[in-house]
Amino acid sequence: MTTLYGISNCDTVKKARTWLEKQDIDYHFHDFRRDGLDKKLVQAWVNQVGWEGLINKRSTTWKGLAPKVKQAMNNSNVIDTILQQPTLIKRPVLVSQDQLLIGFKQADYADSFGIDVVN
């Protein structure tokens, strides 16, 4: 099962959803603002890509964190911060079988699903 995690009003999430739908890829959308996030799931993502690969440092949420919090961020303490402020996550997060993609790049999605990109 393919699951796309994000927030429904995010433009990049909307692009990813549109791409998946145009490719007739069956997926479940999980709005982590509305549906929440599981600590084990977030830990698995951090284990796979590291906290810096998961966090959007250009987000308003990141910019709003105290400098002390940002400087102390690591793979261990980032989980609780993400659970408290899930919009820190770079969106969308696509989980399909054993693959994890952070953000949306059409070529990466196409490669992941074995689809030829047509420009």
10 is catalytic: yes
**Among 10, 41, 73, 115, which one carries the catalytic annotation?**
10
- Identify the three-state secondary structure at position 117: coil
CA torsion, points 114, 115, 116, 119, in degrees to nearest 10?
Answer: -140
Question: Are 48 and 41 spatial neighbours (Cβ–Cβ below 8 Å)?
Answer: no
Residues identified as active-site: 10
